Structure formats: C-alpha cells, structure tokens
Amino acid sequence: MRLSGVISFVIASLCLAGCSSTSGIDALDMQKPSNETTSSVVRPSAPIASVPVARANAARRRVEVPSADDTARPFGLAEEETVAFPAPELPDSVEPPIEEAALVSPPKLLSRAAPAMLAGPVTRYGFRDAKPINFGRSSPRHLAVHGVDVSRWQGDVNWEKLRAQGANFAYIKATDGGDHLDPMFMKNWRGAQAAGLKRGAYHFFYWCRTAGEQADWFIRNVPKVDGALPPVIDVEWNGDSSCQRRPSREKVLEKMQVFMDKLERHYGQRPIIYTSPDFYRDNLQGAFPDYPFWLRAVARHPSKVYPDRKWLFWQYSGSGLSHGVTGRIDLNVFHGDERQWRAWAGGGGRQMMADAD
C-alpha cells in the first residue's frame, strides 16, 4: 500500500512537470506575428525598414542642461532651447512646388488718328423737304449727323453752302457698270473735301457686267486716300437702264461678294451696302450680317421696312431742298450720336456696326 502510494506520487509529479513545460513554449509562440490577415489589415509584402538610431535620436527634443548660473533664471527662459525634427523624405517623383508668376497683359498702344481722318464739328440740321413725311417719334431729326448723296444730276454744287445747311458727309457717285464714270465725280470729290465734309464714293451695280470688271473700274477711278469713308455698292434692279436682267438670289449674292471682296482688299475698308425695299425683299433678307447697310426708307422708319436688319445710314428723303444745290437732293442720317460719328468716321469707318432699332 505504501509502495503504491510512492509510485502514484512520482507519476503525478512527472505529469505536473510536463504541463508546466508546454505552457512555457506556448507563451513564447505568442510573441510571433500571426499569419492571419483581415480585409482591413494587409501584411506588407516587404519588411518595414527600421529607423536608424541616429535619426530617432534627432527627432527627440534636445534641451540644453542649465548650468548652476542658469538656475536663477525664471522658468521657461532658458538661454538656448532648440527642437530638431528630421526633414521629410519625398519620393523622387515629387518636386517642390513652384509659385507661378502672375501673367499681366501688355498695355494696349493707342494711336492718335491722323489729322486728315478726324471728323470736323457737326453742323446742325437745316434742310427742307419738298415732300415732308411725319415719322413721329422716330423722326430722323432726332439723330445728330446728317448728310447727302449726289451725282451729276445735282449739277454744280456749292459745297460751302451745303455744309452750312447741315451736310456733315457726302456720298458721291463715281461709277456705273464697267465703263461709265460720272462726269462730276472728281469735281464733287475735291469740293466736298475742301468744304470740310467727310466724303465717300459709291458704285451703281449693273447685272449685265461681271463683278470683277466692275470692281476694277471703280478702283481705277476712285482714289485711295486717308480719311475717306468706306466705298458703297448700290444694288437695285436696273429698271431705268438698258440692262433688264434679274439674276437669281444665289447669283446676286455671289456677284456682290466678288465685288465687295475686291474693294475691301484694295481700300482696306469693308464696303457698305446701299439698297431699296423691293431689291432687299427679293435678295438680301438675312444675307451679309457682317456688312453695314445704308437703307432707303422715305415713308417709314427702317425698322418697319427692313425688320431685324442693322443699319448704319438711313436715306429718309429723295426730295430734300438746300442752299447750294439746284433742285432736289437725297437726305441721309447716320445711326449714332456725335461721339459715335467721330469715332467711326475718324477711324476710317472700321469701328462700328449700328443696331437695328
């Protein structure tokens, strides 16, 4: 009984020793990283580099140890106290930011117009009309700058008297078709300038001649001078001439474009289109939106006769009366005030496109 008890005691002691040894091994294994991962934690594919001891020490706060004399200083006023942090390491692909310089547009150079191009003082309206029309609130008299257009049918014009009556500009007939020159053109051209009027020339377009030869004829006879108003193409049906041809709308627009392009290249000014209500209705509605128009409307305001069309000049009468002219004369008005007139006329007719109202 005693021997068996001893044997039992020895066996129990050995079992207890085995259990204690196993627990120690398991405790050591717990220090190893687990091979398990979760969806929110990803094991790095390469080992993480350890931070050198020197760099770690540099990140620590270094405070000078005060000497015995420093103990008398108030708290927080050490003679030297520095904190050093390591400079951040950027990837090679990242460059330090560069501050962009502000872009400043160069100032625009403003050129003063040559004296020959400046418009003179505006003379107030003083014309009469053999067949006056009451335009109501849209009367042309509400506009400031009036003028005339002339041809050989006005005879010998006294330009000084015409200027005093209120003519600030004059469009002078120069050519018809491809071979006709108005016999009074050069005399009127010089006389208008001498009297101080702004002057321009117009061409009466024939539908029985090519556009190119008509443009060449105009260029041959109308001088290219500083201060002249833009050239005008007068497009109407040639009812009173030997040419009774009426081309299609497409052909009309094509011929006009050829003529105007040639004049613009030569004079450096975009031509003005003069027209009448019937020709406009047949050919020009919606055409040439980038060209200035001079519209004939002697009974109603242009906005009623040519809806939605912007215009620069309005011919409001074919029965005007004035000192300096024998018989009747066409009266016209510029669509703008005095300031706009000086800007447009002084700039060679390049600076304005009037509204339709």
Q: Which residues are catalytic?
A: 236
Please provide residue 104's backbone torsions phi and psi, each rounded to the nearest 5 degrees: -115, 125
Q: Across the chain, which distance is largest between two alpha carbons, in Å?
A: 167
What's the rounded Cα separation, in Å, for the pair 31 and 20?
18
Distances (CA, A) of 349 to 24, 198, 203, 226, 265: 105, 11, 17, 11, 15
What's the rounded Cα separation, in Å, for the pair 353 and 290?
8
- 264-288 in b/e form (b: 16+ CB < 10 A) is beebebbbbbbbbbebbeebbeeee
- Long-range Cβ pairs for the range 219-222 (8 Å, 24+): 219/262, 219/263, 219/266, 221/174, 221/175, 221/181, 221/185, 222/174, 222/175
What's the rounded Cα separation, in Å, for the pair 157 and 324?
6
Contact criterion met (CB below 8 Å) for 203 and 214: yes
DSSP state for residue 115 in the 8-state scheme: G
Tokens representing 315 are: 């011919």
What's the rounded Cα separation, in Å, for the pair 231 and 214?
13
Residue 118, Cβ neighbours under 10 Å: how many?
13
